[in-house]
Chain A
Amino acid sequence: MIRLEEVQKRFARRDALRGVNLEVRPGELFAYLGPNGAGKTTTIRVLTGLSLPDGGRALVGGVDVAQEPTRAKALCGVVAQAVNLDQDLTVAENLDVHGRLFGMPKQLRCSRTVESLERLEMSDRSASLVRELSGGQRRRVMIARALMHEPRVLFLDEPTVGLDPTIRRKLWTAMKRIREGGTTIFLTTHYIEEAEFLADRVAFLNQGRVVALGTPRELMEAQGHWAVDVLDGADMRTACFRERDEAQTFGAAGPGSFTLRRVNLEDVFHATTGRKLVNGAAS
């Protein structure tokens, strides 16, 4: 459904993407993880025709985005990182304008507005001005809007950033429901638990390169099953092990206190890049 072939993108002072290769299968919920500035948004911009790649090819549904942007855009729904709704229009008007931009006839626009808002549990705010909505509600409206034209691929660029945990969980449920409807989802996030909970497959992006790719389980199992965080003065070191006993012994032999836990995707990122991913920042 999505294919990136050696995609490169350069900005004035830095290389944002350095030969990214990737394939996302139809109906998959694909999480694209990485710290801030890794190139996640740039990848989405290239895939949705908002940026032209400096090298390589980006294809959506078999359509080369740079060669046939209008055809490719018709296949995509985009939920941008920043809220980009018309604040002075109502929720329904925002969706209606979107439907018109995608050339949908009136009857279809009306029925899809109702369906999309129902799907995101926003039907009761249809006539509200966007400026009257909370942050979480605005996000849900953005997703409902992106679903209006029934895209084959839905791009979600950090859709839960800045939201409280309850709202975040609601959005996760909505994303799962959308995926179950057959839509391919390309999700960028720096929340590890989001990718673990939602994704069929995950790619880690670091400094413009894909450094790991696979199902969350495959990636985690490659590191082991158990992780130990050992506190050494002000520093914390993490090590992964196959067996619980090994991990326990390692922790007990350390200089300070330790925590034993299951391996997670953060350990994968650490193991592949030597950096830790904390709230979107790599350290």
Chain B
Amino acid sequence: MIRGWKAVYYREALLLRRRFWKTLGTMSVSPLLYILAFGWAMAPVGQEGVGMGQEYLRFLLPGLAAMSSMTQSWAIAGEINIARFYWRIFEEIQAAPVSPGGYVLGEVLAGMTRALLAVLAVLALGLAFGVRLSFGPAFWLALLLNAFFFASLAVGLAMRIKAHADQALLTSFVITPMAFLGGTFFPVERLPVVARELLLLLPLTHASRAARAAATGAELPLLSLAILAVAGITVFFFAVKSVASAKD
């Protein structure tokens, strides 16, 4: 069922290695800007601004890590579509004895690898700004589950779209709103009930909650982790089905 995943992952890893510094630089720009703009520059003037900023930075950083893991695992969709529509490499993989499950697993792992790199970049930026948090196994589990969900979604939807331009639409209408509303920049719990319940439908909200709780030593929202795991497995099978039907 999962034949060929190592080869698919190896190809992506080779490409990532070739573009490592460029990719790492690109991954770091947005988090750096958010830290500068929201965590540092918007600190209230005249109230030991740096201190207030520091407080918010401790809140912001786990959210940014979750957001980066989402955007970077989602970015695998762009890579797949370039390989599919522009370079036609997907046909080479289709012509090989690689099972749909093997293809999806290889690409999802590649997406998760990118996500891990992006999280490391965020944590390095946090350290540079003096943020001290605890990054234990629960923190990494939350982010890996988040990356698993979004990488699987990326592979599945990449197979469904008919042109590369549609990819940008998905990013604009799904990923960008989620990045801003999924508990990255503000605590969802403070919102009115209706808004809160709506935002709890977003996987990123659960990832931010779990990562933040793990990083700050608060009680771990196990339900959020379970939701991420179940949603991830569901979307993974959707991706396998999408690849299997991606003929003609």
Residues of B within 8 Å of A88, CB to CB, are 15, 18-19
Measured in the bound complex, the distance between the Cα atoms of B7 and A129 in whole Å is: 19
Whether B3 sits at the interface, judged by CB under 8 Å, is: yes
Whether A26 sits at the interface, judged by CB under 8 Å, is: no
Residue in B closest to A89 when the chains form the complex, CB atoms: B14
| Cross-chain contact of B7 among A11, A76, A84, A101 (Cβ < 8 A) | A101
From known contacts A89-B18, A100-B6, infer whether A78 and B95 are also in contact, taking CB-CB under 8 Å. Answer: yes
* Interface size classification for chain A: 20 to 34
Measured in the bound complex, the distance between the Cα atoms of B102 and A70 in whole Å is: 12
| Cross-chain contact of A73 among B8, B19, B97 (Cβ < 8 A) | B97
From known contacts A50-B247, A87-B87, A88-B18, infer whether A73 and B11 are also in contact, taking CB-CB under 8 Å. Answer: no
Whether A103 sits at the interface, judged by CB under 8 Å, is: yes
Residues of B within 8 Å of A45, CB to CB, are 248
Whether A51 sits at the interface, judged by CB under 8 Å, is: yes
Measured in the bound complex, the distance between the Cα atoms of B98 and A138 in whole Å is: 24
| Cross-chain contact of B93 among A11, A70, A74, A101 (Cβ < 8 A) | A101
Whether B219 sits at the interface, judged by CB under 8 Å, is: no
Measured in the bound complex, the distance between the Cα atoms of B3 and A38 in whole Å is: 35
Q: Mark B77-105, 1 if CB is under 8 A from A, else 0.
A: 00000000001110111111111000000
Interface of A: prevailing SS: loop
Whether A23 sits at the interface, judged by CB under 8 Å, is: no
| Cross-chain contact of B87 among A70, A86, A102 (Cβ < 8 A) | A86
Could you list 28 examples of A-B contacts with CB < 8 Å?
A11-B248, A50-B95, A50-B247, A70-B97, A73-B96, A76-B95, A78-B95, A82-B88, A83-B88, A84-B88, A84-B91, A85-B87, A85-B89, A86-B11, A87-B87, A88-B18, A89-B11, A93-B14, A97-B11, A98-B92, A100-B6, A100-B10, A100-B11, A101-B7, A101-B96, A101-B98, A102-B97, A103-B3
B positions within 8 Å CB-CB of A? 3-4, 6-8, 10-11, 14-15, 18-19, 87-89, 91-99, 247-248
